[in-house]
Structure 1
Amino acid sequence: MNLTAEQKLEIHELLSRASYAYDTRDTDMLASCFAEDATMSMRIAGGELAGPFVGRDAIMELMAGSMAQQTDVRRHVVSNLFFLAGAAGIRVNSFLTLIATENSQTALLTTGVYQDTVVQDEAGNWRLSARHLDLDNAY
């Protein structure tokens, strides 16, 4: 599937919206970024695989638990996106730079790589159907 520039922009916006929603703790917006049957997994610094978490509800439970433990202000910066066609949807690879501010101090927490699969729903909206995150180090 060849994506148009407009479709690529829509997908880029989806990934940006998911990051913004997490950082502002807008769980409704964040949930809307995932397909109902989405999956998510994560590996930190080459360690054990966490997940997969299956379904939007399980993913949101993971996200809400993470948010509840955080006392800092997070900024997920997604960059270097590129697109690949796949049998299950469109694959999007990108870099994550995670920055946090707490007590007037801003620091780089970690970097990582997202490997996402996105699909369009019946209304034509792009949703994350699979997300895997490899973090370069624990924080």
Structure 2
Amino acid sequence: MDATDRLAVIDTLNRYGHAYDQGDFEMLARCFTENAVFTIDGGIGDMPTQMRGRDEIVASMRARRAATEAAQRRHLITNIMMDPDGPDRVTAACYLLLGSTEEGTLRLPTTARYTDVLERDGDHWAIAQRTLRLDGSVG
């Protein structure tokens, strides 16, 4: 995996956070492969613990964002590591700090770790499998 691919993987991971935080669900959809699986280990309100397929992932994320509309969320990822599994597949892991501002008060609802499998999807890298392991539950 060359530097260009590594940067493209990082870009996908960053775009996910920006897309959710800004309510850009087209961009969010592009972050996932058509048959992606997103598993959540821990509780996030009424979200399902496993979502299958891009459409279900985006619908669940849209519903979650609507439920927390009063808060401005910021998904901050850090400490990204990657292990290539071939020319078109990579396993990545990173930490999440979730910031939330509501009525002028900043909170840190949770920290977590994402473990992802990304695949080359046409002209970009997309998440095929994502596991979110929360360090604490998010209301």
User: Deviation digits for residues 20-42 of structure 1, max 9, x if unmatched?
Assistant: 00000101110111111111000
Structural mapping, 1:32-111, within 5 Å: 32-44=30-42, 50-51=49-50, 53-70=51-68, 71-86=70-85, 89-111=89-111
Letter in 2 for 1:111: T
C-alpha separation between the residues in 1 aligned to 2:85 and 2:125?
15
The C-alpha deviation readout for 1:76-135, integer Å capped at 9, x for no partner, is 0011000113379210000000000000111111000000110002x3311111111001
Match of 1:112 in 2: 112
Secondary structure class of the residue paired with 1:134: strand
CA distance in 2, matches of 1:86, 1:9: 16
Unaligned runs of 5+ in 2: none
1:30 corresponds in structure 2 to 28
Instruction: Give the alignment's Cα RMSD to 1 decimal.
Output: 1.6
Identity of aligned residues (%): 30
Q: Residue 137 of structure 1: SS of its match in structure 2?
A: coil
Q: What displacement does 1:68 show?
A: 1.1
Q: Give structure 1 regions of 4+ aligned residues with deviation exceeding 6 angstroms.
A: none
Offset at residue 50 of structure 1 (A): 1.3
Work out the CA distance in 2 between the residues paired with 1:31 and 1:124.
15
The answer to whether structure 1 residue 13 and structure 2 residue 35 are counterparts is: no
How far, CA to CA, are the matches of 1:54 and 1:103 in structure 2? Answer: 34
Instruction: Give the TM-score taking structure 2 as reference length.
Output: 0.89
Q: Size of the alignment, in residue pairs?
A: 132
SS in structure 2 at match of 1:138: coil
